């Protein structure tokens, strides 16, 4: 079997916990090189996963190694330049969310992708949750009718304790960039990305200074569909919570746990599978599905999803969200 040669740039928590263990197990993949500016981390992680050669400068890795694709798992502020350099070096890329800090940065990456003809896939793992994929299938088959309202929320601690993660200049934003962008991408994907009409958002800084730690909002679309969402690092709760309900003209479906119903004149039909058989670690499975999909796209066996084109629509929404929160009124697109 010809293996797809992957390089990894950035060996922080997400690479160590998710990317490297999953890539290591895929039989059609070879982790051919890695780059990390922290020499101690580079040595420890590369030895653990048997990666050789390794580099402290990713540009040296691009020049010196034969790679098909690169996984970029570095701080958000570095995504734009690293992505552009990888694309210009002829590599397909999977860049962890968010694609960049701003819409203009995302446009630069997308323009380079179009110029080079290389794949840019952005890490939006919620699309690859087994129950989310089942929900999307029900919607595509028309079981729920037209989806007109998505209500969703995510409450958990921030994904990284690294200092850069809570600095606006480095991360681009707070919980909206960490949890909100993934949750909203899932909702947009289920709605099939209708044209935006307006957003009205309130954000809070109860336990953070540079970035927001909570946000609640309402998003309207030109087709009359709406999203109501809340995300937080700081809402008091005994445990993390992730929920999404999609309301359609013919039925309703819920995630976590998965339940789906189709409306009838006399009541409803339960569309919930008898055994969903979803593993306890849904998020590990979502990353596994995502990486397998990316490798398949690189190998030409399936089209990529969550592309840089999609990212432009997300970043346009995110910029509107922050504008509404800062100005304290509804923003029209």
- pLDDT tens, 234-261? 887 778 899 999 999 999 999 988 999 9
Asked if residue 181 lies in contact with residue 98, where contact means CB atoms within 8 angstroms, the answer is yes
Token pair listed for 110: 């997308």
- pLDDT tens, 227-240? 999 999 988 777 88
Task: Give the number of other Cβ atoms within 10 Å of residue 309's Cβ.
Answer: 15
Asked if residue 248 lies in contact with residue 135, where contact means CB atoms within 8 angstroms, the answer is no
pTM of the model: 0.93
Helix (H, G, I), strand (E, B) or coil at 4: strand
The torsion angles phi and psi of 96, rounded to 5 degrees, stand at: -65, 155
Task: Give the number of other Cβ atoms within 10 Å of residue 249's Cβ.
Answer: 10
Q: What is the pLDDT of residue 274?
A: 66
Taking the domain 4-123, which CATH number applies? Answer: 3.40.50.720
* Sequence ranges of the domains in the chain: 4-123, 126-298+309-332
Place of tokens 């008091």: 236
- pLDDT tens, 112-170? 999 999 999 999 999 999 999 999 999 999 999 999 999 999 999 887 788 888 888 88
- Cross-strand bridge partners of residue 155: 232, 241
**Topology of 126-298+309-332 in CATH?**
Dihydrodipicolinate Reductase; domain 2 (3.30.360)
Checking if the pLDDT of 270 tops 90, the result is no
């Amino acid at each position: 079997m010809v293996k797809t040669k992957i390089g990894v740039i950035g060996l922080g928590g997400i690479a160590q916990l998710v990317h490297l263990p999953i890539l290591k197990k895929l039989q059609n993949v070879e982790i051919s090189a890695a780059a990390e500016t922290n020499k101690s981390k580079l040595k420890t992680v590369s030895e653990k996963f048997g990666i050789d050669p390794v580099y402290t400068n990713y540009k040296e890795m691009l020049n010196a190694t034969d790679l098909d694709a690169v996984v970029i798992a570095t701080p958000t502020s570095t995504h734009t330049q690293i992505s552009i350099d990888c694309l210009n070096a002829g590599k397909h890329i999977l860049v962890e969310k968010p694609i960049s800090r701003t819409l203009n940065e995302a446009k630069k990456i997308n323009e380079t992708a179009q110029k080079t003809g290389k794949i840019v896939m952005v890490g939006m793992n919620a699309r690859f949750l087994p129950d989310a994929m089942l929900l999307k299938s029900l919607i595509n088959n028309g079981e729920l009718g037209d989806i007109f309202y998505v209500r969703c929320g995510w409450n958990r601690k921030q994904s990284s304790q690294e200092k850069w993660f809570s600095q606006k200049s480095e991360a681009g934003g707070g919980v909206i960039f960490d949890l909100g962008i993934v949750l909203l991408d899932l909702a947009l994907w289920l709605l099939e990305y209708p044209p935006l009409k307006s957003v009205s958002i309130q954000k809070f800084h109860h336990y953070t200074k540079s970035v927001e730690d909570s946000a609640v909002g309402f998003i309207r679309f030109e087709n009359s569909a709406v999203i109501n969402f809340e995300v937080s690092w700081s809402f008091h709760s005994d445990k993390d919570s992730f929920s999404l309900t999609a309301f359609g003209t013919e039925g309703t479906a819920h995630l976590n746990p998965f339940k789906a119903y189709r409306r009838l004149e006399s009541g409803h039909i339960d569309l919930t599978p008898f055994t969903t058989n979803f593993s306890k670690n849904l998020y590990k499975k979502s990353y596994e599905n995502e990486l397998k999909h990316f490798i398949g796209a690189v190998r030409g066996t399936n089209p990529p999803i969550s592309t840089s084109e999609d990212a432009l629509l997300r970043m346009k929404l995110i910029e509107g969200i922050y504008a509404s929160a800062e100005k304290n009124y509804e923003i029209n697109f």
